[in-house]
A and B are shown apart, each in its own frame.
Chain A
Amino acid sequence: MKQLKVQKIVFFGILGLATLIYIGPFLFSLSISFNADKDVFEWPIKLFPERFTLDNYKNVWKELPFGKWLFNSVLVTLIQTVSNVFFSALAGFAFARLEFKGRKLIFGLLLSSLMIPGIILLVPKFIILNEFQLINSYGGLIIPGLVGVTNIFLMKQFFETIPKDLEQAALIDGCSYFRIFWQIFLPISKPALAAVAIYTFQGSWNEFLWPVIVTYTEDMYTLPLGMASLRTELLTDWPLLMAGTILISLPTLMIFIVFQRYFVQGVASSGLKG
């Protein structure tokens, strides 16, 4: 009993420390975003600003094309999330459940593409999109991220855990393979689909590098790029930047809170034995 208590204290200690390390910078940003002083890097750091203001948040909307950037970000993220969920589920189902020639080879090729660092692909991707005249367009922002190999892999792994009997029962009931996918597999794969959705959402909402490369006019910027453009060599309005950053991080936070239960719920509770 006593040993358990000690263990608990140690665990909580470690977790507490880790939480602090992660949440510390966030709290600091939060405090800066409410600071009316422009000079925010005084030592010691103040967690509560002396002159509290909401002006920074107002200015984000007034002084910057924040609305346009938000629109761009939402558009890119929404399309990429939906298409990733749809296509990775479809591909995952095919790899997990359909027999076709070259299945293993194609899947192996897909997986091996994960071994190539993304940075190396930037230039070829740029050249290809340039050929299609998609630079500085929504097409250029969106198309390269329509489907991800990691997501396909995730969905395949998940579908493979679904008992074969379920699919065979559906076959006997009279389902086509697409119907099995649509009416049986998708509904019971919510946790995996949610994982793919959240993963994609986060990645595409926070994506910085690709927009930097593929856009060059301010009206095509996404939020992270827009915020970064506020940093200039001579003068950076830190409170304004932080206010924008905090606003950007809100959707991710909310999405996580909403979908969290799918993670907790774990593997599909199935109608099978157990």
Chain B
Amino acid sequence: MATIAVKDLEKVFPGAESATIKNANLNIKDKEFIVLVGPSGCGKSTLLRMIAGLEEISDGELQINGERMNELSPKDRDIAMVFQNYALYPHMTVFDNMAFGLKLRKTPKDEIKQKVEHAAKVLGITHLLDRRPKDMSGGQRQRVAIGRSIVRNPKVFLFDEPLSNLDAKLRVQMRAEIKKLHRQLDATIVYVTHDQIEAMTMGDRIVVLKDGIVQQFDTPMNLFNNPQNKFVAGFIGSPSMNFLPGKVIQKEEATFKSKSLEFAIPKDLRPGLKPYIGKEVFFGFRPEYIYDKQFEKSKRLSENMEIVVDSVEPIGSETFVYFHFIGNPEHSFCFRSDSQFSYGIGSEICIGVDIERLRFFDKETEKRIM
């Protein structure tokens, strides 16, 4: 139904020193589920509000279906928005809340009734239609808020952290429901969250934002496997990626050297790292791809790394082991171990990282090298 194009979009709040959104460029395809994710204050909500028309666009262009939207007011953009705190009209019943937008658009009464009832059925809130918002639970209010947005059958749905006021269990359930709704509605959705798991599970593609700058716009798996910079690498994935600062030096072969750890860089990575010989880099490795050499024999692992276990966090299915490299207790790292192995605190073990999963980042630009 709708494509969204964001072209060199900028937002500068009056009186602010720097721009909240800098030079954002996104091409959102029809029926795509796009998630904007980033730490608080990164501008993700501002970007969404600019698409909605609630914030003025300082510079650049916003197009929906190829048409310039900059000057149009929210009601003329054919969008619907679901707010974090639901923003239901407290003095109206659920039915009236959902019907309000249709009434303003002079929809015939029986059509309103039919549309509201249909939406209520889809969302399972038919029995709530006579209630007022204050007599409902958070999950029910959220459904009504979604219902209010779908009755109008808009081109684009915008969600602003809709699940963050719900408890953990309900959040997981609503997550699935919104996904399902997306398939049913065949609509373009832009969804804001600060929760990277929500982003990974829901989005067709994800926009990672930091300080108003789009860091990467890609599919969830690409963000995870091929992050373009250190920020994305650290932000996506839980527990997050480990980073160790060090240097690439030339011995008999290219070698990564830090205070506590030194290993020869595997052959496949050497050409890429060649320009960095003598330069400072970050070595990045995910907790998921660290293996205990004693048990893991089948994978191609990096050279031996000697570690000391600091603490363990068993979560049932697996265990998070926090450790430091021998000789460098200041830097703490994490690895994800099979829960069948148990490690005593203080025990020394030998680990290796899956060679395919070794990552290196430029220390200055934080861009990924390999």
- Determine if B133 is an interface residue (Cβ-Cβ < 8 Å): yes
**B91 proximity list for chain A (CB < 8 A):** 187-188
> Are the CB atoms of B133 and A165 closer together than 8 Å?
no
A-binding segment of B99-107, B113-121, B212-220, B313-321: B99-107
> Are the CB atoms of B88 and A172 closer together than 8 Å?
no
Task: Give Cα distance in the complex from A172 to B101, angstroms.
Answer: 8
Which B-chain residue is minimally distant from A272 (CB atoms)?
Answer: B85
Given that A169-B81, A169-B83 are contacting pairs, would A174 and B75 also be in contact in the complex, using a CB cutoff of 8 Å? yes
Flag B106-147 by CB within 8 Å of A: 1 or 0 each.
000000000000000000000000001110001001000000
> Are the CB atoms of A174 and B104 closer together than 8 Å?
yes
Which A-chain residue is minimally distant from B141 (CB atoms)?
Answer: A271
Within residues 254 to 274 of chain A, which ones have a CB less than 8 A from any CB in chain B?
268-273
Which B-chain residue is minimally distant from A269 (CB atoms)?
Answer: B134
**A273 proximity list for chain B (CB < 8 A):** 84-86, 138, 165
> Are the CB atoms of B90 and A172 closer together than 8 Å?
no
> Are the CB atoms of A165 and B90 closer together than 8 Å?
no
- Determine if B89 is an interface residue (Cβ-Cβ < 8 Å): yes
The binding surface of chain A is classed by DSSP as: helix
- Of B53, B84, B104, the contact of A173 (CB 8 Å cutoff): B104
Task: Give Cα distance in the complex from A175 to B141, angstroms.
Answer: 21
> Are the CB atoms of B141 and A174 closer together than 8 Å?
no
Within residues 224 to 274 of chain A, which ones have a CB less than 8 A from any CB in chain B?
268-273
- Of B52, B74, B90, B132, the contact of A272 (CB 8 Å cutoff): B90
Task: Give Cα distance in the complex from A179 to B73, angstroms.
Answer: 15
- Determine if A166 is an interface residue (Cβ-Cβ < 8 Å): yes
**A175 proximity list for chain B (CB < 8 A):** 75, 104
- Determine if A171 is an interface residue (Cβ-Cβ < 8 Å): yes
Which B-chain residue is minimally distant from A179 (CB atoms)?
Answer: B104
- Determine if B163 is an interface residue (Cβ-Cβ < 8 Å): no
Task: Give Cα distance in the complex from A166 to B75, angstroms.
Answer: 14
Given that A168-B54, A171-B73, A171-B75 are contacting pairs, would A272 and B101 also be in contact in the complex, using a CB cutoff of 8 Å? no
**B133 proximity list for chain A (CB < 8 A):** 270-271
Which A-chain residue is minimally distant from B160 (CB atoms)?
Answer: A165
Q: How far is the CB of B238 from chain A (nearest CB, A)?
A: 26
**B187 proximity list for chain A (CB < 8 A):** none
Scoring B91, B97, B133, B138 by chain A CB atoms within 10 A of each residue's CB, the highest score goes to B91
> Are the CB atoms of B83 and A271 closer together than 8 Å?
no
Flag A191-205 by CB within 8 Å of B: 1 or 0 each.
000000000000000
Which A-chain residue is minimally distant from B79 (CB atoms)?
Answer: A172
Given that A171-B74, A174-B104 are contacting pairs, would A272 and B88 also be in contact in the complex, using a CB cutoff of 8 Å? yes
- Determine if B21 is an interface residue (Cβ-Cβ < 8 Å): no
Task: Give Cα distance in the complex from A168 to B81, angstroms.
Answer: 9
> Are the CB atoms of B75 and A172 closer together than 8 Å?
yes
- Determine if A117 is an interface residue (Cβ-Cβ < 8 Å): no
- Determine if B185 is an interface residue (Cβ-Cβ < 8 Å): no
**A171 proximity list for chain B (CB < 8 A):** 53-54, 73-75
Task: Give Cα distance in the complex from A174 to B90, angstroms.
Answer: 18
> Are the CB atoms of B132 and A271 closer together than 8 Å?
yes
**A272 proximity list for chain B (CB < 8 A):** 85-88, 90
- Of A165, A170, A269, the contact of B85 (CB 8 Å cutoff): A165
> Are the CB atoms of A172 and B86 closer together than 8 Å?
no
> Are the CB atoms of B87 and A163 closer together than 8 Å?
yes
- Determine if B80 is an interface residue (Cβ-Cβ < 8 Å): yes
- Determine if A184 is an interface residue (Cβ-Cβ < 8 Å): yes
**A187 proximity list for chain B (CB < 8 A):** 91
Given that A174-B101, A271-B134 are contacting pairs, would A169 and B87 also be in contact in the complex, using a CB cutoff of 8 Å? yes
Q: How far is the CB of A173 from chain B (nearest CB, A)?
A: 4
Within residues 141 to 193 of chain A, which ones have a CB less than 8 A from any CB in chain B?
163, 165-166, 168-175, 179, 184, 187-188
> Are the CB atoms of B54 and A184 closer together than 8 Å?
no
> Are the CB atoms of B74 and A166 closer together than 8 Å?
no
> Are the CB atoms of B134 and A172 closer together than 8 Å?
no
Given that A163-B85, A165-B84, A271-B132 are contacting pairs, would A173 and B90 also be in contact in the complex, using a CB cutoff of 8 Å? no
- Of B52, B85, B138, the contact of A172 (CB 8 Å cutoff): B52
Task: Give Cα distance in the complex from A270 to B105, angstroms.
Answer: 25
> Are the CB atoms of A165 and B83 closer together than 8 Å?
yes
> Are the CB atoms of B83 and A168 closer together than 8 Å?
yes
Flag B63-84 by CB within 8 Å of A: 1 or 0 each.
0000000000111000111011
Task: Give Cα distance in the complex from A170 to B104, angstroms.
Answer: 10
Given that A168-B83, A172-B80, A174-B101 are contacting pairs, would A271 and B74 also be in contact in the complex, using a CB cutoff of 8 Å? no
> Are the CB atoms of A269 and B90 closer together than 8 Å?
yes
**B53 proximity list for chain A (CB < 8 A):** 171-172
Q: How far is the CB of B285 from chain A (nearest CB, A)?
A: 40
Task: Give Cα distance in the complex from A73 to B289, angstroms.
Answer: 85
Given that A171-B74, A173-B100, A273-B165 are contacting pairs, would A166 and B89 also be in contact in the complex, using a CB cutoff of 8 Å? yes
Task: Give Cα distance in the complex from A90 to B90, angstroms.
Answer: 20
Task: Give Cα distance in the complex from A184 to B86, angstroms.
Answer: 15
Q: How far is the CB of B24 from chain A (nearest CB, A)?
A: 21
Flag A77-119 by CB within 8 Å of B: 1 or 0 each.
0000000000000000000000000000000000000000000
Beyond known contacts A171-B75, A172-B81, A273-B138: 5 more, CB 8 A cutoff: A169-B81, A170-B100, A171-B53, A271-B97, A271-B133
List residues of B whose CB falls within 8 A of some A CB: 52-54, 73-75, 79-81, 83-91, 97, 100-101, 104-105, 132-134, 138, 141, 148, 165
**Can you list 29 A-B pairs, Cβ within 8 angstroms, ordered by A?**
A163-B85, A165-B84, A168-B74, A168-B81, A169-B83, A169-B88, A169-B89, A169-B148, A170-B100, A171-B73, A171-B74, A172-B53, A172-B74, A173-B104, A174-B104, A174-B105, A179-B104, A268-B90, A270-B90, A270-B133, A271-B90, A271-B134, A272-B85, A272-B86, A272-B87, A272-B88, A273-B86, A273-B138, A273-B165
